[in-house]
A = this chain, B = another copy of it.
C-alpha cells in the first residue's frame, strides 16, 4: 500500500463559507485516497515517512470547470471586443490552427504543465473540433497529471473560416474520437456541443443520444450574453428559453455543466436546479467580454450548483486562485449593480466554489473528506511580509489576491505527486 503523509497548515472548505483548519496537521492518503486530517500523527502510522512542509498551507487543489484549451495562446488579447466579434476575430482563427498536430502538441504541453504549476488538477475543458488535436490534448494532460473531462468540440454551423464541420463529419469524427480515447486513465471524454448557435438540430439530437447511450457527461455554454440570447431565440422559435434548446435534445441533466449563466432568469435557474445542472461562473471572462455580471448569490441561494471556471481565453488567467478573487470582485460589482441589495462572496465562499463545488461534479465530497482522491497543493507564502501574525484563513485570503509566481511548491492529483 502506498502511503502519503503531508504535514503543514491544512486548510479545506467543507461547506460554503466555512473553512476547516488544522495547523501543524497531518493529511493522510492510502493508495491515493484520503483517510483523514489529523492534529497529531495517529499511532497506526508511527514511523511512516512524513513530508513536512513546515508552516506552508496545504490546500485542496482547485477544479477549473470551464476553459478552452486552443485559446490558451491568446490569453489577454482582443479584450476590447464583444463576445461574438471576439469569437470571429480572435478565437476562431486561433482554434483553426489546431488542425496542425505539431502546433497542438507544442501548445498543449505548455498548457498542461502550466495548469499543474498553478495547482489545477481537475478540469472540464473544451478542445477544438479537431479529433487528432483533442487526443493530443488528452495525452498531454494525462502525462502532466491533470484529471477530468475533455471534449472534442462540435460545430456544424456559424463557425469561422476553416473552423466548421459538416454534420456528417462532426458525427463521424466524434465517434472515432470516442473509440480512440479509450486508454486514458484520468482524462475522460465529455460531449461538447460548442453552443446552440454552432450546432444544427440534427447534430444536437445525435449528441443527446450519444450522451445517453454511453453515459457521458455534457458541457456547453448558457446565457452568456444578451446578443447571444437573442440569436438563440431566433434560431429556436420553438423554445421559450435558451436552456430548452439543450433539454429538447437530452443534453440537460445532472451530468451537465453550463458555462456562464449570466442572464438566466428565475425560470431558467429553476430548470437548472430541478435537473441538477452545474452552473460554471467565469467572472474574468464575463467582465472582459462585457457580457454582464452573473447573479451568483441568487443562484446559490436558490440551490443551483455553482462552480468556477477560468474560461481561458475569455478569461485572461489560468490560475484558479485568480479566478476565486475575481469571483469576489464580480460579486462586489453585482452588489453595487443591485443597489447594495445582495451580499458579495467572502474569500471562504469563493474558495469553496473553486475547490469543493467543482470537485462535486467529479463525484467527490466537499473538503478533504475521507474517501476522496488526494487532490492537494502546497502553497508557500513565506516570502510575503507579515504585518502581524496571520491566521491560516487570513493567509488564504491574501494568497487569493496576491499573485506569487512559483508559490505552488507541490501538487498531488488523484493521489499522484504531479509537482
Which residues of A approach B to under 8 Å, CB–CB? 72-80, 90, 93-94, 97, 107, 110, 287-288, 290, 292-293, 316-317, 325, 328-329, 332-333, 335-337, 344, 346-347, 384-388, 390, 394, 397-403, 405-406
Docked pose: A335 CA to B161 CA in angstroms: 31
Q: Which of A75, A94, A390, A401 has the most CB of B within 10 A?
A: A401
Contacts of A290 in B (CB 8 A): 332, 335-336, 344
A107→B400 CA distance, assembly (Å): 22
A78 to B395, CA, bound (A): 10
Complex CA–CA separation, A408 to B235 (angstroms): 49
Whether B80 pairs with A347 at a CB distance below 8 angstroms is yes
B79–A293 contact, CB under 8 A?
no
A287 partner, pick from B75, B93, B329, B403, beta carbons under 8 A: B329
Set of chain B residues within 8 Å of A90, measured between Cβ atoms: 387
Q: How far is the CA of A363 from the CA of B385 in the complex (A)?
A: 35
A107/B72 in contact, CB under 8 A: no
In the A-B complex, the 5 residue pairs with the closest CB atoms: A76-B401, A73-B385, A405-B405, A316-B401, A73-B387
**Chain B residues whose CB sits within 8 angstroms of the CB of A336 once the complex forms:** 290, 292-293, 333, 337
CA distance A403 to B405 in the complex (A): 10
Which chain B residue has the least Cβ–Cβ distance from A329?
B287
A401 touches B347 (CB 8 A): no
Complex: A335 Cα to B333 Cα, angstroms: 11
- Shortest beta-carbon distance from A303 to chain B in Å: 24
Q: How many chain copies does the complex carry?
A: 2
A sample of 14 more A-B contacts (CB under 8 A), given A287-B329, A288-B401, is A76-B401, A76-B402, A77-B387, A77-B398, A80-B346, A94-B388, A97-B387, A107-B385, A290-B332, A290-B335, A293-B336, A333-B333, A333-B336, A403-B403
Given the interface pairs A287-B332, A335-B290, A336-B292, the reply to whether A387 lies near B76 with Cβ below 8 Å is no
Q: Chain B nearest CB: distance from A96 CB in Å?
A: 10
CB <8 Å contact, A347 and B79: yes
Looking across the interface, which residue of chain B has its beta carbon closest to that of A292? Answer: B336
A75 B401 Cβ-Cβ under 8 A? yes
Report the bound CA distance from A389 to B247 in whole Å.
Answer: 42
Minimum CB–CB distance from A203 to chain B (whole Å) comes to: 27
Smallest CB gap from A293: residue in B: B336
Other-chain residue from B75, B94, B333, B400 in contact with A398 (beta carbon distance below 8 A): B75
Contacts of A75 in B (CB 8 A): 398, 401-402
Contact B401 A79 (CB under 8 A): yes
Cβ of B385 and Cβ of A76 under 8 Å apart? no
Give the complex CA separation of A317 and B347 in angstroms. Answer: 17
Instruction: Report the separation of the CA atoms of residues A386 and B72 in the bound assembly, to the nearest whole angstrom.
Output: 10
B288→A332 contact, CB < 8 A: yes
| Distance in Å: Cβ of A150 to nearest Cβ of chain B | 19
Say yes or no: A316-B77 contact (C-beta < 8 A), given A293-B333, A336-B293. no
Task: Give bound CA distance, A330 to B80, whole Å.
Answer: 13
Minimum CB–CB distance from A226 to chain B (whole Å) comes to: 9
